[in-house]
Structure 1
Amino acid sequence: MAKAIDKNTDKSIALYCRVSTDEQAREGVSLDEQQVRLKSYCRAMGWDITPLVFVDDGYSAKSTDRPQLNKLLAKVKAGELSKVMVTKLDRMSRRLLDLLKMIDLFQEHDVSFISISESFDTNTPSGRLTLQVLGAVAEFERERIRERVFENMFHAAKGGKWLTQSPYGYRLQDKELVVHDEEAKIVQRVYDAYLEKGLGYFAIAKMLNEEGIPSRFNKEWSLRSVKLMLTNPAYKGTLVWNRVDSSKKSRKEKDESEWVSLDDCLPVIINEDKWESVQKRVNGTQIAPRAKSSPHLLGGLLKCGNCGSGMSIGWSGSKNKRYRVYRCSANKNKGTCTSKQYRADDVEKWFKEGLKKLLDSLDESLVPMIIEQKKEKYISNIQDRINVAKKRYERKVEAYSAGLITIEDLKLEKDRMKQDIKLLKEIEMVQEDQFDIGKITKDIQKKTSEILESLEVLTIEESKALIFKLIEKIILIKNSTDIKIYLRN
């Protein structure tokens, strides 16, 4: 009688062992013990092939992004394994969805998955059924633990307790934030530099580093640390929790509707109006840090009048007579635009002349257009606020249903949402004559004068900070010496 041929006889058996730091301390789970048990099982089953051992030491089962697990899965895909063995189901993963995905991969490559504690093999129907039942129970328990942790953390946050490391400008005392006066002054300087002086993240970080002002842990300031400071709601007294998903290796911000936000529960360093004004600028049109620090006056602002692409700086002329030019980036990099290049000195001269004309001819005929732009911007901002408020209210309804907040908290959130909706309707009804035309005119004149004066005495970088406060973009009209200057709303 012919003997059946096992097509997996030349393939390896993989033993997977994992332990997290918490498990080692709490349960005394040993990697050595796992290996001994798995190898003993192989001998008992008569599998005399030397197994491959994959060990992830100190990795949580929440994520499947583990070095040795990734190597194991790569060998599965390469068709090098016949079996994958673990001591317990949760060594591989605690999430049913992740388990099922891996098992599908194993089945696709004819690899059986064996857990010796639960006594099943996925090559059998009963083994697959048992696995799914056990996985469902494991995930149910994990979700219950997560909910209990969330409830405890929510109540702590609601009581004004700070749940993580204190931000710059504060210190932590008995899990509550207190203002650190010296650092608070630096926070206020950063907000003023960004809002009043028009400096960007890079310029602010450079200013602090040059002055020798250290960050919390005596590190140098960076673009990221400055931006985090400018967008942290703690400075206006608002505690925001559950903002970041830390369950994966790469931290990712959650949808805003999932955040837990509690107003007026922290000591204030920046008043709310200033904080909101900063957010409008942060979320508005962003200029690349490199453009802000560029030694060329119109870098990051100048646009091609032919195709709308940005104009980048370059050099032209002979070896001994080189000169700066602005050239359409679409023409330079893609060849898709036929716009010519312009001498940078000429374009910057036209810009200065355009500003002088704006200052000399500014009258009330321009103001209605500016007011309409302001109305559109205000309405857009309020609509965004309403959308956020609605999502936040939905989240509070869920929290109330779960018994995490009182009916008074829910009513307060609903009132806030109604106020935003009412404000939008009021702004939509605003007429041009309700704006202070004289004040708007003087404000534009003041900022234009500041720019013209700065061009005579300040560095290019300092002048550009003022320009970015007033001007959104500059369009160079095709084949002419005319430019269009667009003011910010």
Structure 2
Amino acid sequence: MTTNQIQAAIYARVSTEQQTETQTVASQLAALRLRVAADGLKLCSELTFIDAGYSGATLVRPALERLRDLAFANGVDRLYVHSPDRLARKYAYQVLLIDEMYRCGVEVIFLNRELGQSPEDDLLLQVQGMVAEYERAKIMERSRRGKRHAAKSGSVNVLSCAPYGYQYVSKADGGGQAHFELVLEQAQVVRQIFDWVGRERVTIGEVCRRLNADGHLTQTGKAVWDRSTVWGMLKNPAYIGFAAFGKTQVCSRRQRLRPIRGASPQPRRDYSSNSVDVSEWISVPVPKIVDENLFAAVQEQLQENQRRSRIGQRGARYLLQGLVTCKLCGYTYYGKAISNKSAKSKPKDYAYYRCIGTDAYRFGGNRVCSNTQVRTDRRAIFFGGDGIGNAVR
């Protein structure tokens, strides 16, 4: 086979979002393209596979999936990768992918070493794979222990971000010491929210309506407040002067019932997170916004609201709720009972599946979807392909 007949492909990967933003993957691509040109081959843009921000500890990556499918269809003759750990972080995955490429007739070339057929070459590949796994585990453990030590020392550097009401001041801007600084206008809104719930005993829905009516913007600049946002603020101990670190811990990746709206169908990480008991949280001192007694009263009110909301519940009443997504906007359907009070005889109750995107109150008074609701006794329409909805499972 001549050089003009060889179909060359390149694969590059970076693990973190920070590496993606700083264009770290560009250095890999430049080195790979130079090697392809030095071998006298032409590279098509369709044969450039990039997984930006995906962990090498999992094989479920969009570009890698396309590459494997193309190799199986005999669309690639030679694959260039910067190093084995860019292909996969685990040695077992490296061997699996290399063997799969060989069985498909694809020659794999790593820039940092030649891949031969001798026992010594196989041994070197094994050592590199095990070193890559060891380095990953070592980095993760060092990072975990370093963050815990910094949190116990009172450093706010370990916190992911400053909550609403605060502004994060870096070391460079804070004279060598990072800290949280109060945003006076937002802090006043926080105090008002706690007063409404702790003293007036209003619901979270009413809090959102009042915030929307007053024209307050969220931390991300949105004009519409969501109930989950307010709930998270009311549960955040940072407002009484003790920001919490270590509220979650890493665990094995759980299976998703459906893809997250607006996210990639393939998870970028091979792990999930679980909530940690409050007794295991590490408190980091920050400026206080609300009084401890008011915060405690709010927690009692939230527990009371939760207890009352469960009184009338009778378990899962809607089979497809949360499992069916709308084709038009991507939001899920939920179940809702509606009473037909206009009936001449006795009023009759109907149950419907309704798209979240059709609820105008969730989006500042403007619905984002024009799809119609479907009666629960006609749920087979979801599988009919008429544009109303598409079942994920």
TM-score, normalised to structure 1's length? 0.49
CA contact (8 A) 1:157 1:239 kept: no
Equivalence for 2:33: 35
Equivalence for 1:89: 84
User: Is it true that 1:145 corresponds to 2:139 in the alignment?
Assistant: yes
User: Is it true that 1:189 corresponds to 2:192 in the alignment?
Assistant: yes
The DSSP-based 3-state class of the residue aligned with 1:118 is: coil
Equivalence for 1:361: none
Alpha carbons of structure 1 residues 264 and 127: separation in structure 2 relative to 1, 3 Å = closer
| Counterpart Cα distance in 2 of 1:143 and 1:151 | 12
Q: What do you get for the CA RMSD once the two structures are aligned?
A: 4.8
Equivalence for 2:109: 114
Find 2:130's aligned residue among 118, 133, 136: 136
User: Is it true that 1:274 corresponds to 2:297 in the alignment?
Assistant: yes
Map 1:17-416; keep pairs closer than 5 Å: 17-18=12-13, 22=19, 29=27, 31-41=29-39, 43=40, 53-56=47-50, 59=53, 62=56, 67-78=62-73, 80-96=75-91, 99=94, 102-103=97-98, 105-106=100-101, 109=104, 111-120=106-115, 127-163=121-157, 164-173=160-169, 174=174, 175-194=178-197, 199-220=202-223, 221-243=225-247, 249=268, 252-256=272-276, 261-263=281-283, 265-268=285-288, 269=290, 271=292, 273-274=296-297, 276-277=299-300, 280=303, 301=312, 312-315=337-340, 325-327=348-350, 333-334=376-377
The DSSP-based 3-state class of the residue aligned with 1:56 is: strand
| Counterpart Cα distance in 2 of 1:12 and 1:26 | 26
Alpha carbons of structure 1 residues 328 and 14: separation in structure 2 relative to 1, 3 Å = closer
Extract unaligned runs of 5+ from structure 1: 1-5, 288-299, 336-489
CA contact (8 A) 2:14 2:52 kept: yes
CA contact (8 A) 1:188 1:270 kept: no
Alpha carbons of structure 1 residues 86 and 12: separation in structure 2 relative to 1, 3 Å = same
| Counterpart Cα distance in 1 of 2:283 and 2:74 | 56
| Counterpart Cα distance in 1 of 2:52 and 2:352 | 49
Counterpart amino acid of 1:84?
A: L
- Per the TM alignment, residue 75 of structure 1 is displaced from its structure 2 partner at its CA by 1.8
Give CA-to-partner distance per residue, 1:203-244, whole Å, 9 cap, x none. 322220111122234322223422321232322443333446
Alpha carbons of structure 1 residues 213 and 203: separation in structure 2 relative to 1, 3 Å = same
| Counterpart Cα distance in 2 of 1:105 and 1:259 | 48
| Counterpart Cα distance in 1 of 2:204 and 2:74 | 51
CA contact (8 A) 1:11 1:80 kept: no
- Per the TM alignment, residue 124 of structure 1 is displaced from its structure 2 partner at its CA by 6.8
Q: Is the helix fraction higher in 1 or 2?
A: 1
Aligned length: 306
| Counterpart Cα distance in 1 of 2:118 and 2:203 | 63
CA contact (8 A) 1:37 1:87 kept: no
- Per the TM alignment, residue 265 of structure 1 is displaced from its structure 2 partner at its CA by 2.9
Extract unaligned runs of 5+ from structure 2: 254-266, 319-334, 354-374, 379-393
The percentage of counterpart residues that share the same residue type is: 22
